[in-house]
Amino acid sequence: MLKFIKHNFDGIDGVEIYPIISLVLFFTVFVTMIVFVYKLPKRNIDEISQLPLDNDNNKELTHE
């Protein structure tokens, strides 16, 4: 199947740059998210982790 796709891209000049751009973009987003998570204060992480268990918010969302 790859030869069918590769054949279509043979006529495009500079097509070999797109996989490199995609890889750089992926790693940039991935590393940015890792840095963001490590810099997030522990207090915020604890608060966010308790949200599904918080009963006060669940009372507001229930339709009785």
Tell me, yes or no, whether 34 lies in a domain.
Answer: yes
pTM for this entry: 0.55
Report if residue 47 sits inside a domain. Answer: no
> pLDDT tens digit string along 11-61?
778 878 888 999 999 999 999 999 999 998 988 888 888 887 777 655 555
CA distances from 63 to 18, 40, 58, 59, 60 (A): 50, 34, 10, 9, 8
The answer to whether residue 32 is domain-embedded is: yes
Looking at residue 58, its amino acid is N
Any domain includes 30: yes
Could you list the residue range(s) of the whole structural domain that residue 21 is in? 17-41
| Residue 6 in domain | no
